[in-house]
Amino acid sequence: MQTSHQDEHYLSAEADAFHERNHASNDPHTLRPYKRRILDRLDKVAIKPKRMIEFGCAYGDLLNHYAVEHGTEVFGVEPSAKAVDVGMNAYDGRVNLMQGTMADNPICADPANEGTFDLIVVDDVFCWVSRETLFQSVANLDALLADGGSLYIQEFLPLHQTRNANHHVTEGGVYCYKPRGPHMSMFTASGMYEVVYQEISLDTADAWVEDRGKPPFESRWSNVVLRKSLGDYFE
C-alpha cells in the first residue's frame, strides 16, 4: 500500500483533535441528528442489516442503534483512538470498534471478513481519504461487501473539482478533496453497483456560495444507497 502523510496525520493527531473539537461533550447514548437522518434514508429502502460496518464512524452511535434496535452485528473503523475508547466504554461490548483507516485496518486485513457484510456506511469520509490510499480504500470496501449488499455514501457533489486545505492542520498537506464525479462513481463505473436511492441537498450555510468567492455548488451534498450485484446489472 502507498504511504500517506494525510492518513498518518489523521491516525496520530487530527482524528483525535477532531473528536475533541466536535464530540468530546456528546452523550454517546443519544443518536446525533444527522445520524438519525441516515437511519431514515436507510429505512426508506427497507435496509435491516444483519452484519454492518461503518468507516469513519466516530464513537459509533449509529452502529449502537442498529445493534440495539435490530440485533445487527456491528463493526466500526475510526482513526481517532479517543473516539474508539468512548464507544468501547459506552456500549457494553455491542459495538466492535477499532482504530484504523479505510485503507489500513484489522477488519480488511482479515480475509475471513471478505463478502460478509450486507451494509457498509461511509458518512462524509471519502473527501478526507488521501489520494494515495483512495483506490486501496475502494477495493477494501468492495471486498467486504456481500453480493446483494448495500453501500451508503454521504459526500459532496460539487460541479467543479476542489481541494481545500484542512485549516486546523497548521503544517499543511492535509486536504478535503471534492472531486467532480463524485466518489460513488468509482463504484458505479464498475458495472457492479446501482444507485437505489439518492437525495441531493444544499448546505444552507453555504447555499449558492458564489457571494463567498467559492465555486458554485461546492457544498452540495449527495446521499446515496448503492446496491451491489456481481451479475444482475449485465445483460
**Which residues sit at the interface with ligand SAM, rule CB under 6 A?**
7, 10, 15, 18, 55-58, 78-80, 101-102, 123-125, 128-129
| Shortest Cβ 79–ligand SAM spacing (Å) | 5
- For ligand SAM, which is the closer residue by CB, 19 or 228? 19
- For ligand SAM, which is the closer residue by CB, 60 or 149? 60
| Shortest Cβ 137–ligand SAM spacing (Å) | 7
Contact 183, 190 (CB under 8 A): no
Q: Which position's Cβ is nearest ligand SAM?
A: 56
13 burial type by CB count under 10 A (0-12 exposed, 13-18 middle, 19+ buried): middle
Which of 21, 86, 89, 84 shows the shortest CA–CA distance to 55?
84
**Residues 12/13/15/18 CA torsion (nearest 10 deg):** 170
Which of 18, 19, 69 shows the shortest CA–CA distance to 39?
69
| Shortest Cβ 128–ligand SAM spacing (Å) | 4
| Shortest Cβ 13–ligand SAM spacing (Å) | 11
- For ligand SAM, which is the closer residue by CB, 175 or 233? 175
Write out the H or E segment, with its range, that includes residue 27. none
- For ligand SAM, which is the closer residue by CB, 90 or 194? 90
N residues, the chain: 235
Distance CA 219, CA 202 (A): 6
| Shortest Cβ 229–ligand SAM spacing (Å) | 26
Distance CA 152, CA 187 (A): 12
| Shortest Cβ 55–ligand SAM spacing (Å) | 5
- For ligand SAM, which is the closer residue by CB, 102 or 192? 102
- For ligand SAM, which is the closer residue by CB, 36 or 233? 36
